[in-house]
Structure 1
Amino acid sequence: MITGRQIREARALLGLQRSQLAARVRNITTATIMRAELVDGEPPITTAQADALKEALERAGIEFTSDPPSARLRAAEP
């Protein structure tokens, strides 16, 4: 499960506004992203919404770590 902190970090790394991220994810609103980012841990959104956000951020070049939960830009492949 992606955390609210990871969503915040990933969006910041990509330089995306909430509205820009929402436009990349089907059935996700800016308000949903804002609600998810308000917590550091498990966000108060559905599993499907969390999965959709995670997938969109990974497609944009983000890699998620689990210990500790964090986000970073994926290294370019040689």
Structure 2
Amino acid sequence: MDITPPQLRAARALVDWSREELAKRADTTARTIARIEAGETVPRQSTLEAIRSALEAAGVEFIPENGGGAGVRLRKDTI
């Protein structure tokens, strides 16, 4: 999975979105978001891409594992 459950939870917090809001913007369900965040499922690649696209459009940048741990941040122009 290219977005970890903690990254997803943190990304939602950065943009102050509920699971319902992210689900609406990513064309999925809030239950799917909850299951991904809890690590209960490995989502389809298309679902992850939709989630990533929605969050990136809101200004989230996903930081890959680079020895210091994966993370998220807001783009400078959205702060």
TM superposition score normalised by structure 1: 0.85
Identical-residue share of aligned pairs (%): 38
For structure 1, the 5+ residue unaligned runs are none
Higher relative contact order (CA 8 A, sep 6+): 1
- Cα deviation, residue 29, structure 1: 0.3
Unaligned runs of 5+ in 2: none
For this pair of structures, how many residues does the alignment match? 73
Residue pair 1:8, 1:37 contacting (<8 A) in 2 also: yes
Q: Quote the RMSD (CA, aligned, Å).
A: 1.4
Structure 1 runs of 4+ aligned residues shifted over 6 Å read none
Q: TM-score when scaled to structure 2?
A: 0.84
Counterpart in the other structure of 1:74? 75
